[in-house]
């Protein structure tokens, strides 16, 4: 299993003031230090550090499964992370949403799950055991409580 950060070539234009997946300029803010994982270096953006918030679509084309989501990036180009061990950003939230995708970028139904952080490796192995799964998207899944909770 290999953890793969977003490609530098996909993000260079955003750091240079280019438009995101919706045609908007990146929102430039300071990190509040509460779980702002940069999807390039795979580290949390430190409190008070500049960061970008952008709409990003990690798919090669437009089709019904080409989801777009908000992501955080360091405010300036950073070193691309990734590798064989879980990055630090996988340890900053109590749970994550994992979904398996096929080589043609379609969700492989039955592979999606909200998974506790300490169970990610086991769940990833289960998802990759499913036929047709070529990659897994990991997204934040922190559950918000309603006022009644």
Q: What pLDDT is recorded for position 16?
A: 95
pLDDT tens track of the chain, all 149 residues? 788 899 999 899 999 999 999 999 999 999 998 878 899 999 999 999 999 999 999 888 888 888 888 999 999 999 999 887 777 777 767 888 899 999 999 999 999 999 988 898 899 999 999 999 999 988 876 654 445 54
Q: What pLDDT is recorded for position 53?
A: 96
Q: Name the DSSP letter for residue 124.
A: H
Read off the pTM: 0.82
Q: Name the DSSP letter for residue 37.
A: B
Tokens of 138: 């990991």
Tell me the domains of the chain and their CATH numbers.
Answer: 3-82 (3.30.1740), 93-140 (no CATH)
| DSSP E strand boundaries for the chain | 3-4, 27-30, 50-56, 69-74, 82-83, 95-101, 113-116, 135-140
């Amino acid at each position: 299993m290999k953890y793969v950060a977003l490609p530098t070539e996909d993000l260079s234009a955003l750091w240079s003031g280019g438009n995101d997946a919706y045609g908007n300029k990146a929102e430039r803010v300071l990190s509040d230090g509460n779980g702002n994982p940069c999807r390039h270096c795979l580290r949390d953006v430190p409190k008070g550090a500049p960061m970008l918030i952008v709409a990003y679509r990690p798919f090669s084309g437009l089709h019904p499964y080409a989801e777009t989501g908000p992501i955080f990036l360091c405010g300036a180009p950073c070193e691309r992370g990734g590798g064989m061990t879980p990055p630090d950003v996988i340890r900053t939230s109590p749970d994550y949403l994992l979904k398996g995708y096929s080589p043609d970028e379609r969700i492989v139904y039955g592979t999606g799950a909200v998974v506790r952080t300490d169970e990610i490796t086991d769940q990833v192995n289960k998802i990759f055991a499913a036929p047709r799964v070529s990659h897994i998207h990991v997204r934040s899944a922190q559950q918000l409580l309603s006022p009644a909770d």
